[in-house]
Amino acid sequence: MLHPRLSIVIPAYNEEHRIESTLQRVLTCIEERAWDAEVLVVDDGSTDNTASIVEAWMEDHPRLHLIRNAANRGKGHSIRNGVLQSAGDIVLFTDADLSAPMEEAERLIAALDGGADVAIGSRWLERARQTVHQPLYRQFFGRCFNLVTRTIMGLPFKDTQCGFKAFKRDAGQVIFRLQTIERWGFDPELLFIARKLGYSIVEVPVTWGHDDRSRISYLKDGTKMLEEMAIIRFNAAVGRYTRAIAALKDTSILVTDRVHPRRRTKAAA
């Protein structure tokens, strides 16, 4: 089986009002740059027309795929589902609002081609690249949360939460198999696992514009993320990741992995 150079994973939950615009922008970018790429939209149990819209677009775009979660499981679960079913030598995930324009993928890909195993987009390395700034209260809470995250998790990155990250295939297949957090706190866990495995991680400044339609609540979701970080630290303390890594070595997944071809629309638990 020939594998595309790039897989683009887009989690989507009740995105009927902007998914067409997202697909248009992503597919146009792929065509203009002649990327060898597939696009996987992961529908996270939407109750609107998100899935049917994607299916309509699939009729004219054979490398566009729809994966349907059986129920709403969270952004982390959706991205994990998409990454593990992807076929690309590089897999990248991006938010459905495309706050980081799809063209910025070139910056992440260049970092991987330069030797990194993981490339993470950053809104804070070069603040001048922000085209639409968050309201001041969101900036304040976001920076505070990032500081707490870096302290608790021991992560040296300026921006752990930017929804724009790319992985070499072998690294991604291992890291996402070890992921346990399914909602907003999954980003720090991915980076924590990657560092535990010794993968090279590069933080890349990207152009980014705030979308007022963002669903995150800094009070509710921030509290939940702190709880999830405590779970991550507990998992590490009791050896859960160490045992899981050993199990992957026993099955040779840490050496290489190629998933089987999938149907163009697939449901998963």
What is the DSSP secondary structure assignment for residue 181, as one 8-state letter? -
Q: For residue 210, what pLDDT is reported? A: 53
**Is 180 inside a domain boundary?**
yes
* pLDDT surpassing 90 at residue 29: yes
**Is 268 inside a domain boundary?**
no
**Is 232 inside a domain boundary?**
yes
Nearest to 192 by CA among 144, 240, 248, 139: 240
* pLDDT surpassing 70 at residue 55: yes
Burial of 86 (0-12, 13-18, 19+ CB in 10 A): buried
Q: 101-119: per-residue pLDDT in tens?
A: 999 999 999 999 999 999 9
Q: For residue 255, what pLDDT is reported? A: 52
Q: 181-221: per-residue pLDDT in tens?
A: 998 789 999 999 999 999 999 999 999 875 555 556 656 66
CATH number assigned to the domain comprising residue 148: 3.90.550.10
Q: 127-171: per-residue pLDDT in tens?
A: 666 655 556 656 666 667 777 777 888 899 988 989 999 999 999
Domain count, the chain: 1
Report CA 190 to chain centroid distance, whole Å.
Answer: 9
β 90-94/208-209 pair status:
unpaired
**Is 121 inside a domain boundary?**
yes
Q: For residue 252, what pLDDT is reported? A: 63
Q: For residue 161, what pLDDT is reported? A: 86
* CA dist., res. 30 & res. 128, Å (int): 26
Mean pLDDT score of the chain: 87
**Is 53 inside a domain boundary?**
yes
Confidence of residue 264 (pLDDT cuts 50, 70, 90): very low
**Is 23 inside a domain boundary?**
yes
* CA dist., res. 77 & res. 180, Å (int): 9
**Is 267 inside a domain boundary?**
no
CA distances from 218 to 45, 135, 157, 222 (A): 23, 13, 20, 5
Phi and psi, residue 58, nearest 5°: -60, -25
- Answer whether 0.95 is exceeded by the pTM: no
Q: For residue 250, what pLDDT is reported? A: 73
Q: For residue 8, what pLDDT is reported? A: 98
Q: For residue 123, what pLDDT is reported? A: 86
Q: For residue 145, what pLDDT is reported? A: 73
Domain range enclosing 132: 6-256
Residue % of the chain over a pLDDT of 90: 67
Burial of 1 (0-12, 13-18, 19+ CB in 10 A): exposed
β 37-43/64-69 pair status:
parallel
**Is 1 inside a domain boundary?**
no
Q: For residue 185, what pLDDT is reported? A: 84
Confidence of residue 98 (pLDDT cuts 50, 70, 90): very high
* pLDDT surpassing 90 at residue 38: yes
